Chain A
Amino acid sequence: MRTEEPGVRSSRWRAVETQAVAWLAARRDLLDPRHTHPDRVLFTRKALIETAFLVGLRARLDDAPLTGDYAALLEQVEEVARQPSYREMIPRDEAALLLYAGTYAALRLCGREDLEFRRLIQQAVDGGYAAAFERIPYRQLDLLHTLHVCGIAHDLPTMDEVLPFTLLCRRPNVLKLTDRDVYAITHTIFYVTDFGRREPVWPEGYDPREGVELVEALLVLAEGRANADLTGELLCCLYSLGVTDACTEDRAWAYLESVQEDSGRVNGPEGVVHPGIDSGDDHYRRWAEAYHTTIVAALAGMLARSTRRRPVTARRNPPAALRLETPLRSAVVWLCEASLPQDPRTGLAGVAAAALGAAAIDEHDLVQPALQYYAARLADADPAFWQEQGMEVVGEFALALRAADVACPSLNGFLKAAADAVGSLTTIPVDIADGVHRLHALGFVPASTAAAIPRQNAHREPPHYPLHAALALREALENYHLGQLAATIRTLVHQGHGPHRITQDAIAFLVAQQNTDGAFGHPATDEPTARRKAQYSWTRSAVTALATAVERRDVIATG
């Protein structure tokens, strides 16, 4: 919900841009490769073209003449570019054509045509290497976009022909993407949309709204990791795609505003600069760590106020959710069979999870033999056994026995004693609400006791995707911690976040860990006991998460 008038918000974002450009302009001397330490020359050239691009885009997106700090930056770019030590690197360092051509593009866009600079670039492009060697797709798009804004003729495949090979168009799993992958996506969007000025020809079958969904999911992860650089780039992507979702936009801006320093500086992510590049020079290090993120923040402000962006793209409906019944069924069958030889201390949770899974797909018969077997084994179990298992496991087991009309005397006696203990309490803590509701469902406590505890509203969709949960999913994938993954999925589904792209990708990853026999997980060890133990644990956790997802119909494809 917006709390400010649009004009107030846009003026605040304009202030972010203004302060960021002021900070950059005040340090423009650091953009001159002639005056930098030899170890920093390439880094400086990179910063120079990125700054030049910012200025060039300012000229393209805003008709007002360049003044003040933008003009100062342009003067610096022009001063460097006119030197032979810079422009003659084009024929000398053809592999790095993009390091130099972008500078020319900016000058041209700002009305500072330089025909000799242009001739050098055209000559390199017409030669047999600079534009010819193989680049990964988004860098090929970088080349094509740069040549476009340079106005340089070429006979290379078009951007739309390269686009199908990019990561953006392959529907990646957001939780697997590294920072480098995300930069490949953001830059692909910048180039193929020409920062919002061009409508790409998307590959056949690709819905560009998938890209919006991907960017929004990546924004959650970037903010969760406190990465202002990616947050800024992804916000620029939303503008480039023509999307201005108020909620996503406001959240990204609030984060950027919160991390911008009073000087206008926006610090980059940790480790962004090569450790040896600052040589102990704190002034340089602070600039080197922040210049790119500060440029990105300024670019976001520029795009936010641009009137030349394309019309807003409609958002698409929630993605088609995964079909989970078949993997869940085969996992339940495996879990039941694997439970029989287990020690009940570890096996009961598996049987209870299997029962939960079978109930979710309405195939109670699948667990009948395992339930009967465990009920018989545990008919005289000590109360300490049930105590150790906890209510979640015991409750599911008891509910399944009830549905299957199977008796377990020791369990009934234990639950009755637990209910009596609850009845003796003057107040019932909220954190045992689920357990008490289970006792009520089993008929051990009266409705009045259960009604006295406020139910948590599990179906209310919170406004924002929880950052900590997104990070937990990512960490679980990195560490192959399928139990943590399953637990987080389950919580997110309960909270109403099941249809979100991040949750769906987490579920897709989990399902992809299933073996053909129904078990979950790839232990990557040859030791049979360890394999069995790991898969029993993972399958029990996976079944629990998938059962929850199936029960919440909002994550099941309706078609």
Chain B
Amino acid sequence: MSCPPSVDARKALDFLRTSGLVDLSVPLERVVGQVSQLDDVAGYVLAWERYVLVVANEVAADAATPSDN
């Protein structure tokens, strides 16, 4: 069984393991929350799949209460 490294050797191991060329910290608060969401801004839905799902309740409600015309 090998002996644990001395304090100096342990510091050297820490030093040799440390990488830092790429900065993985986040240097700025996220701003993506401010980025516009197309659907929210445009106020309408582009995709047919969404059409079916989102308006289903409205259309069904209309069908359930026929107009007097």
Contacts and interface: CB of A to CB of B under 8 A. Distances in A.
The reply to whether chain A is a binding partner of chain B is yes
Interface of A: 38-43, 46, 98, 136, 139, 142, 180, 183, 273-274, 276-277, 349, 352-353, 356, 386-387, 389-394, 396, 417-418, 421-422, 424-427, 429, 431-432, 435-436, 439, 478-481, 483-484, 486-487, 490, 523-525, 530, 533-534, 537-538, 540-541, 544-545
B37 to A, nearest CB: 11
Given A418-B16, A435-B16, A42 B21 contact: no
A483 B56 contact: no
Interface in B39-69: 46-50, 52-57, 59-61, 63-64
Nearest to A535: B27
Interface residues of B, number: 44
B6 interface: yes
A274 B54 contact: yes
Contact of A422 (B16, B18, B28): B16
B32 to A, nearest CB: 6
Contacts, number: 148
Contacts of A42: 52, 55-56, 59-60
Contact of A43 (B13, B21, B56): B56
6 contacts: A38-B60, A39-B56, A421-B12, A425-B9, A480-B31, A533-B28
B23 to A, nearest CB: 4
Contacts of B11: 387, 421
Given A277-B56, A392-B21, A540-B21, A421 B8 contact: yes
B27 A391 contact: no
B2 interface: yes
Interface in B1-42: 2-3, 5-6, 8-9, 11-28, 30-32, 34
Given A42-B60, A136-B46, A349-B20, 9 more contacts: A46-B49, A139-B48, A273-B53, A387-B11, A390-B19, A394-B15, A480-B31, A486-B22, A544-B22
Nearest to A392: B19
Contacts of B13: 421, 429, 432
B21 A393 contact: yes
A391 B15 contact: yes
Contacts of B54: 274
B20 A393 contact: yes
Given A136-B46, A356-B21, A530 B28 contact: yes
Q: Can you list the 9 inter-chain pairs with the closest CB atoms, starting with the nearest?
A: A390-B18, A435-B16, A421-B12, A392-B19, A432-B16, A537-B27, A534-B27, A38-B60, A274-B53
Interface of B: 2-3, 5-6, 8-9, 11-28, 30-32, 34, 46-50, 52-57, 59-61, 63-64
A324 B32 CA distance: 27
B27 A39 contact: no
Contacts of A136: 46-47
Contact of A534 (B22, B28, B32, B60): B28
Nearest to B31: A524
Contacts of A98: 48
A435 B17 contact: yes
A431 B18 CA distance: 10
A142 B47 CA distance: 12
A274 B45 CA distance: 14
B60 A392 contact: no
Given A396-B21, A432-B16, A481-B26, A38 B48 contact: no
Given A39-B56, A43-B52, A545 B9 contact: no
A355 B63 CA distance: 70
